[in-house]
Structure 1
Amino acid sequence: MTVLLLAGTGEARRIAWGLTDTSVKVVASLAGATRHPEPLPVPTRIGGFGGEDGFRTYLAENKITAVLDATHPFAHHITNRSARVCADLGLPYALVVRPKWEAETGDNWTSIATPQDTARHIPDTATVFLATGRQTLPDYANLEGRRVLARMIDPPTEPFPFEGGEFVIGRPPFRQSSEEALFKALGVTHLVVKNAGGKGGRAKLDAARALGLPVLLLDRPKLPDTVHVTSVQEALLWVASQ
């Protein structure tokens, strides 16, 4: 049995470690969005597959017998392609679905369906902390005219895609105290995030609550109709069942 683990999240890392104690052969795949990702304890390939045809070829050439998708909740292009190809090939496939964040007492959250909905909730004088990822920045171009701050793990190689934008460099994990200090120092008035869920990104939301900042949460894309597991333990049990 050879499992392809589509990785890039904390859950994927814990799954990889969990599978090292089994007889299952595992190959992890990282998209390559981060220049120096932390190494995984299993053989790892980095970079895209070359589209759907390339993905099919990889599965066949490497005799993959099951695919476990533990990519980011917003990596919908990868997830939809992987689910579709596996269904077509009759290959076992499961998607790790991280629970969404839920508002708590003191939170001032507004859900939005698309990035284009953001600007109508944020005044022109705002300083916006845009925590939605480098690749999605052009989608928020209607925030132009406001001061927009976007955090990146690696230093940028290209200019900000619209006027008024600035990059902030930082590498996780982040703590609530450090997020509060950062938001205060930068004069942040609004926070925009994807509803990715998980513990890793929760600190900025807790900081926003403590500071009384409004938060816009982008809803998740629709998930494919396939096997869903909601925890690392469920994912390991699914692999064992194959």
Structure 2
Amino acid sequence: MTGTHILILGGTAEARQLATELAVPGGARVTTSLAGRVARPRMPAGEVRIGGFGGAEGLAAWLRAERVDAVVDATHPFAEVISTHAARAAALTGTPLVALRRPGWHTGPGDRWHDALSLDDAAAQLPALGQRIFLTTGRLGLAAFAAFAELHFLVRSVELPEPPLPPHTETVLARGPFTVDGELDLMRTHRIDVLVTKDSGGPATAAKLEAARQLGLPVVVVRRPPVPEGVPAAEDVPGVLALLSRAAADRCP
């Protein structure tokens, strides 16, 4: 891929791994785009762009201006808006687009999982499951839980969550990876009886699931949205590199 320009829509560990693989001497020009929602993001190899593009049309204009040869959507599995914009921009410009999505989590023996289609759906299930909720869905979208004044929430996020929040909320600021022992201690200390999480996948935050299993706690799992229709996807960096090579071959005359 020497001489090509690849845009990585990043913010995940897998995006940083991909940038490291591509941004080598004599390799591709790599630009990673970060949303700018985290004050001190972990910076990837290569060039970095921070901030939005102005929707699908703005991204399409940037792809043309920067002569981008391929786009990799390696955003968080729940970053549905930017994934949709990327698919539209790729279609407008004829730029190859591939997605990098780490595998989701799966139940194991002893798990008590309850699927949810959205944060609102997750919130609606809580009164029947418990009173003290460990909420690990990130700092955005917590308005879905704000009306539940009878419940107590422990919210963990990398940065302060955005209001509105439930009336009875305690916040823990932390970034993974987390350990099972640490998660067990946290849940016991706060007398947690329900865990709520998004199906983000990956090992960095999976310890909470094992801790919930050991404690016999119900877990409400918000299922991830699908990759936009027609976008080829891989579960790891080698798979994405193979897709990029195939896309490059298909573009050669």
User: Per the shorter chain, which TM-score range?
Assistant: over 0.9
Of 230, 236, 239, 2:235 maps to 230
Equivalent position of 1:10 in the other structure: 13
Cα separation, partners in 2 of 1:236 and 1:88, compared to 1, 3 Å: same
Q: Structure 1 residue 172 and structure 2 residue 176: aligned?
A: yes
* TM-score, normalised by the number of residues in structure 1: 0.93
CA contact (8 A) 2:136 2:156 kept: yes
Equivalent position of 1:113 in the other structure: 117
Code of the residue aligned with 1:5 in structure 2: it is I
In the TM superposition, what is the alpha-carbon distance from 1:155 to its structure 2 partner?
Answer: 4.0
CA contact (8 A) 2:198 2:222 kept: yes
Distance 1:234 1:120 in 2: 38
CA contact (8 A) 2:116 2:122 kept: yes
Of 197, 220, 223, 2:224 maps to 220
Unaligned 5+ segments in structure 2 are 249-253
In the TM superposition, what is the alpha-carbon distance from 1:238 to its structure 2 partner?
Answer: 2.1
Give secondary structure in 1 for the equivalent of 2:165. coil
Equivalent position of 1:20 in the other structure: 23
Distance 1:62 1:216 in 2: 43
In the TM superposition, what is the alpha-carbon distance from 1:235 to its structure 2 partner?
Answer: 0.9
In the TM superposition, what is the alpha-carbon distance from 1:63 to its structure 2 partner?
Answer: 1.1
Equivalent position of 2:95 in the other structure: 91
In the TM superposition, what is the alpha-carbon distance from 1:154 to its structure 2 partner?
Answer: 2.4
- Greater RCO structure (CA 8 Å; 6+ sep): 1
Q: Structure 1 residue 131 and structure 2 residue 136: aligned?
A: yes
Distance 2:133 2:234 in 1: 34
Equivalent position of 2:251 in the other structure: none
Distance 1:159 1:69 in 2: 28
Code of the residue aligned with 2:225 in structure 1: it is P
CA contact (8 A) 1:3 1:27 kept: yes
Count of aligned positions: 241
CA contact (8 A) 1:109 1:215 kept: yes
Equivalent position of 1:144 in the other structure: 149
Q: Which moved more, 1:102-111 or 1:224-233?
A: 224-233
Distance 1:170 1:160 in 2: 20
Distance 2:86 2:52 in 1: 12
Give secondary structure in 2 for the equivalent of 1:135. coil
What root-mean-square deviation, in Å, do the aligned CA atoms of Structure 1 and Structure 2 show?
1.7
Code of the residue aligned with 1:233 in structure 2: it is P
CA contact (8 A) 1:119 1:142 kept: no
Of 61, 64, 84, 1:57 maps to 61
Distance 1:155 1:120 in 2: 24
Unaligned 5+ segments in structure 1 are none
CA contact (8 A) 2:115 2:223 kept: yes
In the TM superposition, what is the alpha-carbon distance from 1:145 to its structure 2 partner?
Answer: 2.2
Distance 1:199 1:17 in 2: 20
Of 235, 244, 249, 1:239 maps to 244
Runs of at least 4 residues of structure 1 off by over 6 A? none
Distance 2:49 2:133 in 1: 36
Identity %: 37
Q: Which whole-Å deviations, capped at 9, do the CAs of 1:147-179 have from their partners, x for residues lacking one?
A: 0121121245x6553312221111222111111
